[in-house]
Amino acid sequence: MYLEPAKLIFKEECPMTREQKIIKNKLGLLNLARELGNVSQACKIMGFSRDSFYRFKDLYETGGESALQEISRKKPIFKNRVASEIEEAVVQLAIEQPAWGQLRVSNELKKKGIFVSDGGVRSIWLRHDLETMKKRLAALEAKVAQDGLILTEAQLIALEKAKEEKQESGEIETEHPGYLGAQDTFYVGTLKGVGRIYQQTFIDTYSKVAIAKLYDRKNALVAADILNDRVLPFFEEHGISLLRVITDRGSEYCGNMEHHEYELYLAIENIDHSKTKARRPQSNGICERFHRTILNEFYRVAFRKKLYNSLEELQADLNQWLMEYNEHRTHTGKYCFGKTPMQTFKDSIPLAKEKMLHLSLQTSNSRNVSDEI
């Protein structure tokens, strides 16, 4: 009733699979028991119980070698399933109330007679890529853009809170060239015969085009001068407007509008002014990162190569470096896609004009409605 010795021979030249090794061990037990004539001793040597031996013996006698294959006793684990209407309700509430957590969503749905645990809510969020508030807000914005929905107060609060958090962490929202410009002051150093040198920096946050001008002082007048002398003429040359500027809370940027040259200039030019939180330089991180680049790649190199005697001489070399930065050096910015800042700016001009036209139409419509009221 046992396996013939010839059948125990396995080809050594071919590597055995796991199943073949298992069968070989079982056949070895049966064969050893036959040779020794003692089942208990064979089981002790091979490390099997007597029950296993007799089970192997019965399987082999009824089905041959194939019956000795390992059979998994594990029951298959099926994924939790929820009704389609429950899943749809969870997804809809995630978009309607993106700030709610999974526990609150579960409790609110129970009030409506829909019973799903907080863990079930999270599982549904994961299936629909909604597990974080950031992703739920993105889904809300996409739905608003697609369906033209009117946002509720709770949705507006959640979106505004998300914008503030992004700004605090240095992530700036921008839609097109001219939508938002970042401005900051950078202390260059001391020039013999001139004194302290300050750089006024302006960067278009969409295209990353950088504009810089050097001054021998730091006040509101020079902060407004770079906008009047370099920035606004640049945007007017390309037929688009500058809508908003973000700065820190330095004295050159903040003050009483009636007496502060910078605030007054922004009001005259109809440019909105956003301010970063106090002691949060990362809120204007785009300028901070540019300052590190220009310090390492221009100023530290230029001051070792040449002795400057005037501000104009240094400004001329700075202009050359900025031309290289804007027009020839590719940028890894969010909207640059490996293009240069100037190429990104020019390619996005139609987008800026389209957005500004849409904004002007909305403004005129709202004025007409208010006049009728």
Which of 30-44, 152-166, 286-300 comes out lowest in average pLDDT? 152-166
- d(CA 209, CA 202) in angstroms, rounded, equals 8
Q: Which residue, 18, 22, 10, is CA-closest to 59?
A: 22
Q: Residue 102: is its pLDDT beyond 50?
A: yes
Mean pLDDT of 46-75: 79
Q: Are 260 and 220 in contact (CB under 8 A)?
A: yes
Q: Residue length, the chain?
A: 373
pTM of the model: 0.58
Please give the biggest Cα pair distance in the chain.
111
Output the six-digit token pair for 250: 């330095």
Q: To which residue do tokens 């995630």 refer? A: 94
For 5-17, write each residue's pLDDT tens digit: 444 444 445 567 7
- CA atoms 18, 23, 26, 29: torsion sign: negative
- d(CA 319, CA 107) in angstroms, rounded, equals 61
Q: Are 144 and 151 in contact (CB under 8 A)?
A: yes
Outline where the chain has alpha helix (H).
18-36, 39-46, 50-63, 84-96, 102-111, 118-127, 133-147, 153-168, 220-226, 232-237, 261-268, 285-294, 300-305, 311-327, 341-347, 349-372
For 266-301, write each residue's pLDDT tens digit: 999 999 998 887 766 666 788 989 999 999 999 999
3-class DSSP state of 194: coil
Give the phi and the psi of residue 11 in degrees, each rounded to 5.
-75, 115
Q: pLDDT-derived band of residue 72, with 50, 70 and 90 as boundaries? A: low
Let me know if domain 181-288+342-357 sits in CATH 3.30.420.10.
yes
Domain boundaries, the chain: 5-68, 84-168, 181-288+342-357
pLDDT at 9: 44
C-beta contacts of 323-328 below 8 A and 24+ residues apart: 325/210, 326/209, 326/210
Mean pLDDT of the chain: 83
DSSP 230: I
> Taking the chain, what is the end-to-end CA distance rounded to the nearest angstrom?
103
Which of 67-76, 116-125, 343-352 comes out lowest in average pLDDT? 67-76
DSSP 329: S
As a three-state string, the secondary structure of 267-311 is HHCCCEEEECCCCCHHHHHHHHHHHHHHHHHHHHHHHHHCCCCCH
For 227-273, write each residue's pLDDT tens digit: 999 999 999 999 999 999 999 888 999 988 788 999 999 999 999 99
Can you say how many angstroms the Cα of residue 250 is from the centroid of all Cα atoms in its chain?
Answer: 30
